[in-house]
A and B are shown apart, each in its own frame.
Chain A
């Protein structure tokens, strides 16, 4: 059976994928940029809009990192405002489970779901670093090994809070004077190693019951967490082979958690460069990569991997001849890519040097090659064909597109690629449902039941 493709739009982030130096690049903080971006996604009938989050500004060499876009809005607040200027598109926010509390986060998502008419989604992320913790009451006490456990139990607790209202509590019957059907609704009690809370949740059940749950972890633990409790997974694997491997692995985990293949969507992040022809797109893509890796950015990447300051280093010359400084004390703080670098920096540096030698590349050219994350490059026809083939080949269920220009970068995709996917009959011509769960083709929640009622078995099929 031909699969329907899901498409989402990632608001350009605070990393070097985003090209702020382009004359077309607009504000990353004014509401109008978010409004335009969201309305473009909705014009393209996208499933949802996606916002990332980071709770401390990144640093390198003990200084605030200044080469990428810096600064972003509060996730919940901007999504609630976007609900006012859109009607259909889903609103997915990344919210950290370490530096928040379940009662408050559950309230904010339930509110967002009410105020958007059922379009809220939560990308659950975890963090443990004391660096970010310095901005919060809680500080940075969480052991690295505990972060998934806290995330898992945080989400379980939030689910209990959302499910504490069943949807039939409010009568609002002016005649009889009964506002509530039952006294003190929303009762909950949760005790575990992380949370010891009880009382009454104070937001009535929202249109979707719970927000759609996203997870982005890539480790074995992260994949299990997603397989157990997420509705969609935001992955890094946008190529055919890597995508299929990830897809098969994660979907293969579902039965262990009593779930079926349709219960979890795999949506890799993907960038794109469109041209009138494939050749023109390739040329534009080269220019974009150079803009993404300025000489200063190239130096910062090299310093991150070598984990040392390199004053006076010439990025147009060769890579450093010595091995990286191996230490737990990383010069770069507050960014996810560092974890990739830190796994085996000596081996990775050797790999970079080998590439330089093979291609006769300067240090900057190597960084451009190894960090360039361009998934789809080509004419609209080529990109539409590629995306369709990847989805039909189970490399993904769709893609979360990451444009490199704010806010207009999504427009060419919506104008040129979406119509081709619609012609192929693999992407909606219009929204058919009201909620994000509808857009994603997810079954209604099985959790809409009273305590004591038998669980509806969903694992059988």
Chain B
């Protein structure tokens, strides 16, 4: 872990969550928005470069296997919202070579994709970024994507009876599958030992095949033989993240992830969530491993609280509804946000994933106002201190599970 000066808290970690024109549904209508460029490489590389100038740890990229919808579970047919998106892993791969320090954590949907493909995709992202790759795993509970794949019947979640036992079982199954999926990703990343490539001209061997390993995973949803076709990535294990709002996803975070994104209402709630994740971690036998808990916040930032509130109100009026989020919505100044982050950090959070309400405005405020404010308080780096994402997060390079001790 990064050591902190005596008497001061450890620096906190900051990530930005990128999604379309921003998280507010009317963000694309702002004067500084670029709605015509959402499907171009330049839009995304520009945001990545911007976030890197702010010294952020990493950026996440939202994804989905259907059109966006204002409803969490059902498709809508609105004309006034951003619809359509590019594959998040490929956006990350396109932006990685034009940056040098910032990490990339694109989203992959575990329910419909192949862990073998995604494992080598993230390993390759780690190669093209020289050790800055991660993945955020997300379950796909909507009916639309299941019909797009047609591979399996998935009972739809029903919003009005989520607490019923059959719905709870369905949710648990989704997350159990995600845990199996992460297990396969991790085994495949380790399926080549670091020194497997030998190029031994005398014996004609390019690899020492004893240092490649079948993973022989067999689970309820899939079996994967291995080894990967891609050698072990530079970080050994790219960073795995997941978002959770309740006990079942907290278990996934505790069992499988390096970072959990959570949505506390306040500092006390943050402390409760951290305690629950730590307890799950211990029961999963991972008490000694670092699992960073990040607080997610939607942010509307401006020069003054009143300016921020006025901007949010303008956006809400354009959207025709008050902005609602699973995360706390912060509206105010960078200094006020810095107070909140410090308060929540004291409750046990290692860092924060900020969801800019509108791009580039709120990203600019994060990089040019919030970051200097945190730096003044000794709470944020003043330069990139490591070459890899694991390094920035204070995670060591892990030993290979298959390597002989």
Contacts and interface: CB of A to CB of B under 8 A. Distances in A.
A78 B124 contact: yes
B338 to A, nearest CB: 32
A116 to B, nearest CB: 7
Interface stretch (A53-61, A243-251, A273-281, A347-355): A53-61
Interface stretch (B198-206, B261-269, B375-383): B198-206
Contacts of A181: 79
Contact of B41 (A101, A115, A186, A200): A115
Interface in B88-131: 89-91, 93-98, 112-114, 116-117, 120-121, 123-125, 127-128, 130
Interface stretch (A65-73, A434-442, A448-456): A65-73
A393 interface: no
Interface stretch (B63-71, B165-173, B252-260): B63-71
B101 to A, nearest CB: 16
Interface in B211-268: 212, 221-227, 229-231
A74 B120 contact: yes
A115 B221 contact: no
Given A64-B209, A67-B205, A70-B206, A55 B147 contact: no
Interface stretch (B11-19, B28-36, B365-373): B28-36
Interface stretch (A134-142, A335-343, A397-405, A407-415): A134-142
Given A70-B207, A170-B84, A199-B147, A57 B229 contact: yes
A101 B109 CA distance: 14
B339 interface: no
B67 A186 contact: yes
A372 interface: no
B316 interface: no
Interface stretch (A292-300, A306-314, A378-386): A292-300
A198 B145 CA distance: 9
Contacts of A55: 116, 229
Contacts of A172: 28, 35-36, 38
Given A29-B230, A172-B35, A203 B85 contact: yes
B84 A77 contact: no
Nearest to A25: B199
Given A135-B226, A204-B39, A111 B86 contact: yes
B41 to A, nearest CB: 5
B318 interface: yes
Nearest to B208: A66
B276 interface: no
B74 to A, nearest CB: 12
Interface stretch (B51-59, B148-156, B305-313, B397-405): B148-156
A169 B35 CA distance: 13
A197 B97 contact: no
A77 B95 contact: no
Contacts of A234: none
Contacts of A174: 28-31, 33, 35
Contact of B225 (A20, A84, A134, A137): A134
A55 B112 CA distance: 18
A301 interface: no
Contact of B67 (A54, A100, A177, A200): A200
Interface stretch (A102-110, A214-222, A224-232, A261-269): A102-110
A179 B28 contact: yes
Interface in A152-202: 165, 169-170, 172, 174, 177-186, 195-200, 202
Interface string A42-58: 00000000000011110
B77 interface: yes
A78 B230 CA distance: 12
A356 interface: no
Contacts of A67: 204-206
Nearest to B85: A202
Contact of A99 (B41, B114, B318): B114
B17 to A, nearest CB: 19
A270 interface: no
Contacts of B90: 76-77, 80, 108, 111-112, 115
Interface of B: 26, 28-31, 33, 35-36, 38-41, 44-45, 64-68, 75, 77-87, 89-91, 93-98, 112-114, 116-117, 120-121, 123-125, 127-128, 130, 144-145, 147-151, 192, 197, 199, 201, 203-209, 212, 221-227, 229-231, 318
Given A21-B199, A81-B93, A115-B44, 15 more contacts: A20-B206, A30-B127, A57-B212, A70-B197, A70-B207, A74-B121, A74-B230, A81-B97, A110-B86, A115-B91, A165-B84, A177-B26, A183-B77, A185-B83, A198-B147
13 contacts: A54-B229, A70-B206, A71-B207, A76-B87, A81-B96, A84-B98, A100-B117, A104-B65, A111-B91, A169-B84, A172-B38, A202-B85, A203-B86
